[in-house]
Amino acid sequence: MSAQIPPPPPQKDSMLSNPQIIAAAITAITAVVVALITALPNLLPKYVPTETVVVVVVTPTVPSPTSTPTTDSTTEFLIANSTVDPSLTPVSTNAAPANTTVPTSLPIIIAPTTITLVSMQPTTNPSQPPNALLMYDEVSFTLLNQSTGTLSLEGVVFRSGAGEWDAVRWGGSIYNSIPRGKCLRLRDASVGQRQPPQPCVNQIYGLIEASGTALFWRNVEQFDVLRNGAVLATCRVVDTTCAIYAPS
């Protein structure tokens, strides 16, 4: 009896040979890709544009101080204040476009000019050098002849809102013939002796003690020196000295 050969086992189906399995795999892969594409924007970090601020600062050019022409030996100064309107300074909170030019200059608004006149010297005759020096304090008034010869105060009166003093009251032959380097002095009668200014030490040619309106330089800001009614000079009390020219 011959041996019987058993039939071969049934061949298993391959996954790659099954069209249904291949179609299902392609569908699953497609779904995964679509899901990834949809979710990708949420997975990546969001881009937030950076805010750029452009600030333009304009520094105004203030005109240099100038001086007005000198008149009657009085120096005058021009003081100008200028301001820039802050509303003209632009501030942009968005980045400037690539083709946009940021302005580098803006109109400057100048505030109204304030002019202050400051008198630096007493009013006197600018064409002649001083020939008399006035020196004064709370209790005394002194005149020094600093000319090269005899000085006359004929017709000279010192006057202010507090009173006046006529030079003739220093006495005849004194007020109109003051030797070079000598001094005339007027002093408050209530204070007693006082040391004269240094240039007049041992040089007093005439001294009068007075009171009341004769103390014309007291409690005022300035006084005038007149000759025959014309003003020779205007002196400030705060200066304590005043150089004048008294024509002979």
* Span 88-94, average pLDDT: 40
Dump the DSSP string for 35-73.
HHHHHHHHHSPPP-PPP--EE------PPPP-BPPPBTT
pLDDT at 107: 52
Q: How confident is the model at residue 149 (pLDDT cuts 50, 70, 90)?
A: very high
Predicted pLDDT of residue 37: 72
pLDDT of 95 above 60: no
Q: Provide the pLDDT for residue 148.
A: 93
Residue 117 pLDDT greater than 50, yes or no: no
pLDDT at 83 over 50: no
Query: pTM score > 0.75 for this model?
Result: no
Q: Tell me what the mean pLDDT of segment 49-59 comes to.
A: 44
Mean pLDDT across 110-122: 43
Tell me, what's the pLDDT at 104? Answer: 54
The pLDDT of 226-237, averaged and rounded, is: 96
Query: Of 7-11, 81-85, 107-111, which has the strongest mean pLDDT?
Result: 7-11
Is the model more confident about 66 or about 217? 217
Per-domain residue ranges for the chain?
A: 53-120, 132-244
C-alpha 108, offset from chain centre:
18
User: For 185-216, how does the pLDDT look when each residue is reduced to its tens digit (9 = 90+)?
Assistant: 999 999 989 999 999 999 999 999 999 999 99
Taking alpha carbons only, the member of 131, 124, 133, 173 closest to residue 149 is 131
CATH number of 132-244: 2.60.40
Determine the pLDDT at residue 93. Answer: 39
The answer to whether 137 and 240 have CB atoms below 8 angstroms apart is yes
What are the distances in angstroms from CA 22 to CA 11, 13, 67?
19, 13, 102
CA–CA distance, 122 with 133 (Å, rounded to integer):
12
Predicted confidence band of residue 8 (pLDDT cuts 50, 70, 90):
low
Query: What is the per-residue pLDDT for 211?
Result: 95
Q: How confident is the model at residue 230 (pLDDT cuts 50, 70, 90)?
A: very high
